[in-house]
Amino acid sequence: MGCAKKRMNPKIANHVNHNFNGSFIKAVIKAVLQVQPPWKPGKIGRKGHDSRLVAICCILKEGFNESYDDIESYVKDSETLKRDYDELPGHSVIHRGMKKLSTKYIRKVMNRVTRFLRRKGMNIAVDSTGFRTSNSSTWYDIRIKRKNKRKDCIKLHISMDIDTGIVHWFTMTPWNRHDSKEFENLIRHLPEIGTIFVDKAYPSRKNYQFVVDKNGTPYLCFKDNATNKAKGNPAWIAHIRKYKKDKETWLSTYHFRSIVESVFSSIKKRWGSFLNSKKKWMQKNARSLCGKL
């Protein structure tokens, strides 16, 4: 039968959400003001809204999962934004601003939002998940020599702190790109790490050595056909011997990796698993924001 679930007091939940929203708005404003403006104002026509303010509204739109009309109402009712800005943009301005934002700019801003949460010795989990798109798979059409109903998907790779659930880095690839090539990109920018947990899609001798060189302890799940040959990477043979010596103990520690699935579940429950955007660069921008929020 199981145990009855405890319900949180609605007053407490609303208080927590209200405080979180206010803190998130302040963090986004601070991060946006620390980087260069996303675009320069045009020389012809009226001056328009500050590009930094429009970028803030675009990030808040994705963070709170609101429509363009709803985010217009939200920002105009926000005491934090009204205190700093006299005139706030409307939904059409935010929509045009979303098209101007680049993935590089979004990455810079969101990394600053999470930077103060970074620390040495973090236990990191790395994994990927797919998001469906409305685009047909061109590669598959060529293979079967006819147009099909199969759709492409975009893979979002993240590295997260399993103790806090904070996503510290992300990359995006097509569905047919091998995951192991993204591993270094996901942890290169992190400070000295503790233990890192990865499933069978990412391990390689090079990746094992890379983790050890960063003073980390790798738990990159070995494939069934893995051999003891080091091939110039001594970290590989040391850890595969440890794995084969006491496989049960090794796997009991490795299964901390499953926490990352909870993060993916939260992302998809809030933002969905389907991308409505038709253009590739808009799909990347949408996943960039969701991956770091």
Nearest Cα residue to 157 out of 293, 291, 290 = 291
| pLDDT value for 229 | 85
Q: What is the pTM of this model?
A: 0.72
d(CA 154, CA 163): 27
Tens of pLDDT, residues 167-221 = 888 888 887 788 888 999 999 888 888 999 999 888 889 999 999 999 899 999 8
78 confidence band (pLDDT: 50, 70, 90):
confident
Task: Tell me the CA distances in angstroms from 287 to 14, 20, 130, 162, 192, one per residue in order.
Answer: 27, 22, 10, 21, 27
d(CA 238, CA 197): 17
Task: Tell me the CA distances in angstroms from 210 to 186, 220, 291, one per residue in order.
Answer: 12, 12, 24
Tens of pLDDT, residues 227-265 = 888 888 889 998 999 898 898 999 989 988 888 888 888
- The answer to whether 116 and 30 have CB atoms below 8 angstroms apart is no
d(CA 273, CA 129): 9
Task: Tell me the CA distances in angstroms from 140 to 143, 274, 286, one per residue in order.
Answer: 5, 20, 25
| pLDDT value for 150 | 62
d(CA 263, CA 269): 10
d(CA 216, CA 184): 13
| Residue type (1 letter), 85 | Y
d(CA 148, CA 140): 8
Residue 139 has pLDDT above 70, yes or no: no
Q: Could you report how far apart the first and last alpha carbons of the chain are, in Å?
A: 36
- The answer to whether 158 and 186 have CB atoms below 8 angstroms apart is yes
Angle separating helix axes 103-115 and 280-292, nearest 10 degrees: 0
Residue 80 has pLDDT above 70, yes or no: yes
26 confidence band (pLDDT: 50, 70, 90):
confident
Query: Mean pLDDT throughout 75-85?
Result: 87
| Residue type (1 letter), 226 | A
| pLDDT value for 2 | 41
126 confidence band (pLDDT: 50, 70, 90):
very high
Main-chain phi, psi angles of 203, to 5 degrees: -65, 145
Pairing of strands 217-220, 193-198: parallel
Q: How many CB atoms lie within 10 A of CB 245?
A: 9
User: For all residues of the chain together, what is the average pLDDT?
Assistant: 82
- The answer to whether 52 and 32 have CB atoms below 8 angstroms apart is yes
- The answer to whether 88 and 29 have CB atoms below 8 angstroms apart is no
